Amino acid sequence: MTTDRGPADATTTGPTTTGPTTTGFTTTGPETNDRPDRTTGRAAGAPVPAPARSAAAVAAPARRRRVPTTGTALTYLSLVLATFVVLLPLAVVFLTSLKTSQEVSGGNALSLPGNWLNLSNYVTAFTRGKMLVAFGNTAFILFFAIGGTVLIGSMTAYAVDRFDFRGKRPVMVLFLVATLVPGVTTQVATFQVINSFGLVDTRWAPVLLYMGTDIVSVYVFLQFIRSIPTSLDEAARLDGANAFTIYRKIIFPLLKPAIATVVIIKGITTYNDFYIPFLYLHSEELGTISTALFRFKGPFGAHWEAISAGAILVIVPTLIVFLLLQRWIYNGFARGATK
């Protein structure tokens, strides 16, 4: 005998619904929208994006980070002062080179010239100051001095780094001592040696001195050669190459950054040197640009406009070369310092 249970006695045992679901599963992910939004074009089921921050809230931290500090202000102030100190003498020399004798004697150093196209002082410097002959002598000395420095410096660095011999460490110590000894203290003995060879008052005297007294170039080449793996030398020796062939065909082509650095630094140093040409080149026809500019104090002692024009002629080539090749200078020093 069965008894029918009514609706009041029935017990529901179906799945429990939590939240918006109707299938008995609990949703724990981000809130989604099952229907596509026709206004925004967002697909069905895509998460609802968080409300965007205002532009003022985003820009506020950036503005706080850009507030200059005292250290930053002092840094920029020191840079401005250094720039002013460097450029002020150049500006005075340039303005003076464009003035006449009356403007130089009657005005101050920073007064503007009456005619900005007044090039008569440059013509005087070239003709009566013999600047063209001085440029030729300087170019001759530069060519042979830089070429000899590159060859001697790279060969010396290659021998010191790649070969083991007795006295290798004392040689490096002597190189270091040579860089610490002032060159002026040895000029008496050096002059006697050059005079014994009969090279005084010849252009070969400064060439030999520039080639034989540059220890810095040896260190520059040595740092670069140490970065070249010795496996290249070993592979070349297996093919029958000797030491000079390895240097000429493997080592030297890989030293292009170091060569560029040495050429620029040695060239600027030789170009601006005054002491050696003045001491060993007595004839006026053998003068370099530095000694030619120094001789302006004789016939043009009271004509600062002609002296300033000659100074500008000396400065411009160096300035152009440095601006065009400064990337090689900085890269060469940086690479040489980290290798």
d(CA 186, CA 191): 9
d(CA 290, CA 280): 13
Q: What is the dihedral of CA 335, 336, 337, 338, to 10 degrees?
A: 50
> Which of 36-45, 142-151, 255-264, 304-313 bottoms out in mean pLDDT, i.e. has the lowest?
36-45
Residue range 157-192, pLDDT digits in tens = 999 888 888 888 888 888 788 778 887 788 888 899
Helices (H), the chain: 55-65, 70-97, 101-106, 120-127, 131-162, 168-180, 187-196, 204-212, 216-225, 231-238, 243-246, 256-272, 275-280, 289-294, 304-338
Residue range 63-106, pLDDT digits in tens = 555 666 888 888 999 999 999 998 998 899 999 889 888 888 87
End-to-end CA distance of the chain: 103
Helix, strand or coil, per DSSP, at residue 47: strand
Helix, strand or coil, per DSSP, at residue 285: helix
Looking at mean pLDDT, say which of 37-41, 204-208, 219-223 comes out highest. 204-208
d(CA 74, CA 77): 5
Q: Return the pLDDT at 114.
A: 83
Side-chain-facing half-sphere of 330: CA atoms under 13 Å: 6
Q: What is the CA radius of gyration of the chain?
A: 39
- Which percentage of the chain shows pLDDT scores above 70? 75
Please state the pTM of the whole predicted model.
0.69
- 49, pLDDT greater than 70: no
Side-chain-facing half-sphere of 18: CA atoms under 13 Å: 4
Separation of CA 46 from chain center: 55
**CB 333 within 8 Å of CB 265:** no
DSSP assignment, residue 46? P
Q: pLDDT band for position 24 (50/70/90)?
A: very low
> Which of 88-102, 132-146, 317-331 bottoms out in mean pLDDT, i.e. has the lowest?
317-331
**CB 211 within 8 Å of CB 149:** yes
Residue range 243-283, pLDDT digits in tens = 899 999 999 999 988 888 888 888 888 998 898 999 999 88
Helix, strand or coil, per DSSP, at residue 322: helix
**CB 262 within 8 Å of CB 149:** yes
What are the CA-CA distances from residue 329 to residues 251, 268, 323 (Å)?
A: 21, 11, 10
Q: Return the pLDDT at 13.
A: 44
Considering only residues 127 and 330, tell me which one the structure prediction assigns the higher pLDDT: 127
